[in-house]
């Protein structure tokens, strides 16, 4: 199982966090911790005309957390909040072994994590930060 | 994996009947040979004596304690109080009534914090250390905040031990409680309790010791330690989950107010106010964890009969093998004291460029059970400039194959991910 968790795609994707940068002037910044291990993501989002215009992040975590952060940062740009929430829901469904293919094809790389429940939170950490950011945006900018 | 002095057979261990000892832990037969359990600092495996005592009570002797007058209830009460006496004996307590049955160390330290803080005033100080488990920090914060007490901390020295040279600067007449670990759950460093006791006694402070990581490595003598309260968990002492103990020096216990209120802990209840039972029942509100406590008593009785000089030599020989082996693997850095002096047989380490969860996941492929994370010791990790580490913790039942499987697994981790 671990061999699948650490396949080339996840390892290579995780390494991209080395190039990640924070946004100079984000509309929203959210910090989310994994209380089990102290892993942390600081996620910046900038919006334009109701869609994500830019994503920045600083991620301190395991390979799974870092790979998830990279996928999120790559795919969130251009998406509106409804699409982002669908992506989060599809990732949760993938980890639970429910539903069809994930909203973003890259999320399929996390399929092997389904069998290791103790690592689900690692993959979900960046997406929990995204949800917190979207919740806060809705509270601050009611429709 | 290159063979070296670290992998030489431990001569001391040859004198221990390790096969016989391991046979007293049912998990090893159940899990088979490819099972290397190096997470005893989180939870020790249950010994046969405790497992049989638990099952015996729950299936043949189950009744609530202290309340019933029928034979079964009387026998349950007798078994429960016998367990208290066995725990007291393991701790070197003067009397069984000094032992409060708790759900574990966390519960015990919450009792300690809340009952001791009830006597504090604004500006009084509680001294903990940077090496503490969160269970010996957060309860003091919660209870201390209510009375306006100030939390201070003994820093770590270069080796990751408590820097006791700072005691003079930290302890004053304002210090009312000192609460420290007997043994760090991350570095394995054993605290010089005697030196802290002297500092506490000089200013009249009470000394609370978290013994969770110390008791699995042999009986304790709380009287010789000179502390006032001592806490530990049964599940780390090869008993069931759900029971632990708080030893409170008798004269002190008599003076302290209860923590939780409810049944069993009262003398008389009226609507306006209540009066409370004498210790230890004053601190045992509600139905206690009867079966787990009886199991803990059985574990204490069995453990007390073992040859701890041999077991200590065995455990430390394995710890030495582990430390030396870690030192031969590129990019692996052990934390804490460099040698075996005044340390428990547990070693935490970092693997450069590899997250502890990823280390543990790959080790699991080989049946090696380790723990990654901050181990509920975030201030300690922060003091070491880390967020997390990987921990391998040894107990009396481990053998050289366990250590070697870990070392070989780590070489593979480094090869694949570092």
Residue ranges of domains in chain B:
3-33+307-417, 51-304
* Pair of tokens at residue B237: 């002492």
Task: Please indicate if any CB of chain B lies within 8 Å of the CB of A19.
Answer: no
Residue B191 preceded by cis peptide, ω within 30? no
A3-140 placed in CATH 3.90.1010.10: yes
Nearest Cβ partner for B356 among A2, A37, A119: A37
pLDDT digits (tens, 9 = 90+) for B91-110: 999 999 999 999 999 999 99
Q: How much is the mean pLDDT over chain A?
A: 93
Q: What is the C-alpha separation between B403 and B349, in angstroms, rounded?
A: 14
Q: Which of B138, B357, B365 should be substituted to probe chain A, the one whose Cβ sees the most A Cβ atoms within 10 Å? A: B357
What is the radius of gyration, based on Cα positions, of chain A? 14
CA-based nearest residue in chain A for residue B364: A2
Instruction: Supply the pLDDT for residue A6.
Output: 86
A61 and A34 Cβ atoms separated by less than 8 Å: yes
How close does chain A come to B383, measured CA to CA in Å? 14
Residues on chain A touching B358 (C-beta within 8 angstroms): 6, 62-64
Task: Please indicate if any CB of chain A lies within 8 Å of the CB of B374.
Answer: yes
B 148-177: CB under 8 A from A: none
Nearest Cβ partner for B373 among A3, A36, A40: A36
Nearest Cβ partner for B364 among A2, A60, A64: A2
**Residue closest to B237 by CA, chosen among B385, B46, B37:** B46
* Longest alpha-carbon distance in chain B: 74
Is the CB of A37 less than 8 angstroms away from the CB of B387? Answer: yes
Predicted confidence band of residue B2 (pLDDT cuts 50, 70, 90): very low
Q: What is the C-alpha separation between B15 and B19, in angstroms, rounded?
A: 11
pLDDT digits (tens, 9 = 90+) for A18-39: 889 999 999 999 999 998 888 9
Task: Please indicate if any CB of chain B lies within 8 Å of the CB of A18.
Answer: no
Q: Give the residue extent of every domain in chain A.
A: 3-140
> Which residues, in sequence order, are CB contacts of B98 under 8 Å at separation 6+?
B88, B247, B248, B249, B250, B253, B279, B280
Nearest Cβ partner for A2 among B362, B373, B381: B362
CA-based nearest residue in chain B for residue A121: B357
> The domain at B3-33+307-417 falls in which architecture?
Alpha-Beta Complex (3.90)
Residues on chain B touching A64 (C-beta within 8 angstroms): 357-358
Active site (annotated) includes residue B227: no
φ/ψ of A104, rounded to 5, equals: -115, 120
Q: What is the C-alpha separation between A36 and A61, in angstroms, rounded?
A: 11
* Pair of tokens at residue A89: 């829901």
pLDDT digits (tens, 9 = 90+) for B204-231: 999 999 999 999 999 999 999 999 999 9
Please tell me the pTM assigned to this model.
0.92
- The residue from B47, B117, B360, B376 that is catalytic is B376
* Pair of tokens at residue A77: 């740009």
Q: Which of A6, A11, A17, A33 should be substituted to probe chain B, the one whose Cβ sees the most B Cβ atoms within 10 Å? A: A6
B51-304 placed in CATH 3.40.640.10: yes
How close does chain A come to B159, measured CA to CA in Å? 23
pLDDT digits (tens, 9 = 90+) for A44-71: 999 999 999 999 999 999 999 999 999 9
Cα B324 → chain centroid: 25
pLDDT digits (tens, 9 = 90+) for B21-32: 999 999 999 999
């Amino acid at each position: 199982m671990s061999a699948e968790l650490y396949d080339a795609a996840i390892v290579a994707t995780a390494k991209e966090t080395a190039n990640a940068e924070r946004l100079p002037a984000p509309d929203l910044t959210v910090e989310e911790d994994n209380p089990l291990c102290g892993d942390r993501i600081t996620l910046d989002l900038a919006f334009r005309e109701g869609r994500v215009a830019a994503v920045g992040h600083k991620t301190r975590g395991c390979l799974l957390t870092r790979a998830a952060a990279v996928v999120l940062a790559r795919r969130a740009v251009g998406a509106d909040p409804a699409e982002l929430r669908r992506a989060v829901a599809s990732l949760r469904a993938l980890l639970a072994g429910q539903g069809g293919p994930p909203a973003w094809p890259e999320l399929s790389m996390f399929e092997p994590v389904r069998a290791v429940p103790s690592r689900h939170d690692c993959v979900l950490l960046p997406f929990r930060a995204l949800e917190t950011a979207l919740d806060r945006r809705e509270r601050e900018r009611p429709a | 994996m290159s063979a070296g002095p670290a992998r030489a057979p431990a001569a001391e261990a040859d004198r221990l009947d390790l096969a016989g000892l391991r046979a007293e832990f049912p998990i090893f037969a159940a899990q088979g040979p490819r099972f290397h359990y190096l997470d005893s600092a989180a939870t020790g495996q249950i010994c046969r004596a405790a497992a049989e005592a638990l099952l015996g009570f729950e299936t043949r002797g189950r009744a609530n304690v202290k309340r019933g007058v029928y034979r079964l209830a009387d026998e349950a009460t007798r078994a429960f109080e016998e367990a208290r006496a066995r725990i007291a004996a393991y701790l070197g307590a003067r009397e069984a009534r000094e032992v409060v049955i708790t759900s574990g160390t966390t519960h015990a330290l919450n009792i300690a914090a809340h009952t001791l803080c009830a006597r504090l005033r604004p500006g009084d100080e509680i001294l903990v250390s940077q090496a503490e488990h969160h269970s010996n920090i957060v309860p003091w914060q919660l209870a201390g905040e209510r009375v306006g007490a100030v939390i201070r901390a003994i820093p770590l020295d270069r080796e990751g031990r408590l820097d006791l040279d700072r005691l003079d600067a930290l302890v004053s007449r304002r210090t009312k409680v000192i609460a420290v670990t007997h043994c760090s759950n991350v570095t394995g460093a054993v605290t010089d309790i005697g030196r802290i006791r002297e500092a506490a006694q000089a200013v009249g402070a009470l000394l609370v010791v978290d013994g969770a990581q110390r008791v699995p490595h042999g009986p304790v003598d709380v009287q010789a330690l000179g502390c006032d309260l001592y806490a530990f968990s049964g599940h780390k002492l090869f008993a069931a989950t759900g029971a632990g103990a708080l030893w409170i020096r008798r004269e002190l216990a008599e003076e302290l107010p209860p923590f939780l209120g409810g049944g069993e802990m009262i003398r008389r209840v009226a609507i306006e106010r209540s009066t409370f039972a004498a210790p230890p029942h004053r601190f045992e509100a509600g139905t206690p964890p009867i079966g787990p406590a009886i199991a803990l008593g059985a574990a204490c009785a069995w453990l007390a009969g073992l040859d701890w000089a041999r077991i200590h030599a065995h455990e430390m020989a394995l710890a030495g093998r582990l430390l030396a082996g870690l030192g031969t693997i590129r990019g692996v850095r052990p934390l804490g004291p460099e040698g075996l002096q005044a340390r428990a047989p547990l070693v935490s380490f970092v693997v450069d460029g590899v997250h502890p969860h990823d280390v543990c996941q790959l080790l699991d492929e080989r049946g090696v059970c380790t723990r990654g994370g901050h181990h509920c010791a975030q201030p300690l990790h922060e003091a070491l400039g880390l967020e997390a580490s990987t921990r391998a913790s040894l107990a009396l039942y481990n053998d050289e194959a366990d250590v070697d499987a870990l070392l070989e697994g780590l070489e593979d981790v480094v090869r694949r991910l570092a």
